[in-house]
Amino acid sequence: MVNKNVMLNNTEVNKSIEPDNKRKSKKDKLFTAIRIIVSAALLAFLITRGWNSLKNVTSVLKELNLVFLLLAVALYLLGIMFEMLRWDMLLRAQNIRISKGFLTQSLFIGYFYSNIFPTNIGGDVYRAYDLHKNKGIPLDKNISVIVVERFIGMLSGTVYLVISFFGVYKYLNLATILSLSVLPLGGLLLFFIILKPKVFKIDRLFKKIRFLTRFEPKYNSFLEHFVSYKSKLRYLLASFVISLAAQLLFYTGFYFGTPGKEGISLEKADNLSKSEKIFAGFVKHYYQKINVAVIDLKSAGLKVGDNIIIEGPTTFIEQKIESLEFDNKSVKKAANRTEIGLKVSGEVRKNDLVFIYKKN
């Protein structure tokens, strides 16, 4: 009789669990479908927005040296592996053990989202969520690890920035120098805000803004994990060394040499391209209605007939110079250290780089 009652109870429990499992399965499928649709839509948006640049991919690929291309890809992938090791090291500092295979997978998916959203925020959010959902790691602990990781990455990047600055500063305008300085200074300020919230009166925000009150326990927990790294200097130092190695691999993979009159060529600067690409100057202003850009020549002069490339974070234009204007007069050539007007074939942006492009 007792056994029958137990069996009946187990049957009732199983029946109550089955609908929950079905609902959970349907919810997981729905979220997976939403992620696929959103990812496809964002990818389509990127392709559509950058279509003018993508049209030049075939011609650019024909110019590439296959050996250097494969080397660049290998170095880039190796750099990602080092980033995974940095992440793993900081997780271990919090007594979190995750397989390197899982971390690598999560990092690659995070890179996809980082290419869609501003900076690395998309990838960082995904990684924190991924470990929380699939490995049961609390979000506040995940976020503290990623924040420390970002600070270490910023510090190692600043080291290389300072080293390289002495070689390229004479080619940079004041606006570029100031913009390069903002990131490390802003990161340092953010670090102290997190580390000393009472000094910046962050704790008062939770009391004054009712909406933030419910986040205070999570924030305090995040802060506790973040501050705990002060007693784990061995892990921080190892992560910093790994970060230096990772960024060196990235820089080596993307290496094009120091911009200057020598140009950027296969023979002189180990450039991937067989053609010569000589730095000339920057876009100072763009007049959209008449498609004219003001170019501040910093390193080389330009002349009618030159093939040029104008590129920036969201710009890539390759064209032949049909006309030049200096001091409101049409000219055949313009000397270095002057500002000239140039008719461009597409939209350009302030501080885009201008190169003379010579096919060998």
pLDDT, tens digit, 9 for 90 and up, residues 85-105: 999 999 999 999 999 999 999
CA nearest to 342, candidates 291, 288, 280, 268: 291
SS (H, E, C) 217-264: HHHHHHHHHHHHHHHCHHHHHHHHHHHHHHHHHHHHHCCCCCCCCCCE
- Nearest 10 degrees: Cα torsion 80, 82, 83, 87: 140
Of the candidates 298, 356, 292, 299, the residue with the CA atom closest to the CA atom of residue 330: 292
- pTM exceeding the 0.85 threshold for the entire prediction: no
Between 69 and 157, the more confident residue is 157
CA-CA-CA-CA torsion for 4, 8, 13, 17, nearest 10 degrees? 120
- What pLDDT is stored for residue 51 in this prediction? 65
Segment among 60-64, 88-92, 124-128, 279-283 with least mean pLDDT: 60-64
CA distance linking residue 140 with residue 218, whole number of Å: 6
Q: Is 90 exceeded by the pLDDT of residue 199?
A: no
Give Cα 117 distance to the centre of its chain: 9
* Residue 244: band (very low, low, confident or very high) from pLDDT cuts 50, 70, 90: very high
Is the model's pLDDT at 291 over the cut of 50? Answer: yes
The answer for residues whose C-beta is within 8 angstroms of residue 73's C-beta and 6 or more apart is 253
> How many CB atoms are closer than 10 A to CB 146?
20
What is the identity of the amino acid at 126?
Y
Q: What is the tens place of the pLDDT at every residue in 14-42?
A: 555 455 555 656 666 776 777 678 777 76
350, 332 Cβ separation under 8 angstroms: no
Query: CA-CA distance, 113 to 109, in Å (whole number)?
Result: 7
Element containing residue 301 per DSSP (H, E): none
Task: Please provide the average confidence, as pLDDT, over all residues in the chain.
Answer: 78
CA–CA separation, 312 and 328 (whole Å): 27
| pLDDT tens by residue, 293-343 | 999 988 788 889 888 999 887 888 889 998 898 888 888 888 888 889 998
Percent of the chain with pLDDT over 90: 18
Domains of the chain from N-terminus onward: 66-253 (no CATH), 266-358 (2.40.30.10)
